[in-house]
Amino acid sequence: MILLIQFRRDQSGWHELKCFYESLDLSYNQIQIINAGSETISSKEILSLARKSKGIIIGGLGETGYGEINVEKKFWFNNIREKMVFVLKKIIKKNQPPVLGICFGHQLLAESLGAKVDFSPKQAETGVTKIHLTKEGMADPLFKGFNSMFLAIEGHKDAVLNLPKKSLHLAYSHRCLIQAFRYKKFFYGLQFHPELNYKDFLFRLSLYPDYQKQKTVNQKPIVKTKLIFKNFLFQICDLRV
19 in catalytic set: no
Please identify which of the residues 63, 111, 125, 195 carries the catalytic annotation.
Answer: 195
pLDDT at 241: 61
Percent of the chain with pLDDT over 70: 95
Average pLDDT value for residue range 58-87: 96
195 in catalytic set: yes
Confidence band for 86, pLDDT divided at 50, 70 and 90:
very high
Question: CA nearest 156: which of 80, 100, 101, 211?
Answer: 211
pLDDT at 222: 78
Average pLDDT value for residue range 18-22: 96
pLDDT at 219: 55
Confidence band for 239, pLDDT divided at 50, 70 and 90:
confident
**pTM, full prediction:** 0.95
> Strand, helix or coil at 181?
strand
pLDDT at 212: 63
Confidence band for 213, pLDDT divided at 50, 70 and 90:
low
pLDDT per residue over 101-141, tens digit each?
Answer: 999 999 999 999 999 999 999 999 999 999 999 999 999 99
Is residue 100's pLDDT more than 70?
A: yes
pLDDT at 191: 98
Q: Which fold has domain 2-236?
A: Rossmann fold (3.40.50)
The secondary structure of residue 207, as a DSSP letter, is T
Beta strands across the sheet bearing 149-156: 31-35, 2-6, 55-58, 99-102, 187-190, 180-183, 167-172, 125-133, 149-156
Is residue 71's pLDDT more than 90?
A: yes
pLDDT per residue over 162-193, tens digit each?
Answer: 999 999 999 999 999 999 999 999 999 999 99
pLDDT at 221: 76
Is residue 218's pLDDT more than 80?
A: no
**Residue ranges of the domains in the chain?**
2-236
Please identify which of the residues 106, 156, 169, 193 carries the catalytic annotation.
Answer: 193
Please identify which of the residues 19, 103, 176, 237 carries the catalytic annotation.
Answer: 103
What span, in angstroms and rounded, lies between the C-alpha atoms of 178 and 171? 6
pLDDT at 226: 95
Average pLDDT value for residue range 227-238: 96
pLDDT per residue over 26-59, tens digit each?
Answer: 998 999 999 999 999 999 999 999 999 999 999 9
39 in catalytic set: no
Quote the mean pLDDT of the chain.
94
Is residue 216's pLDDT more than 60?
A: no
Give Cβ neighbours of residue 8 (< 8 Å, ≥ 6 apart): 16, 35, 37, 59, 60, 61, 62, 63
Residue 7, φ and ψ in degrees, nearest 5: -135, -15
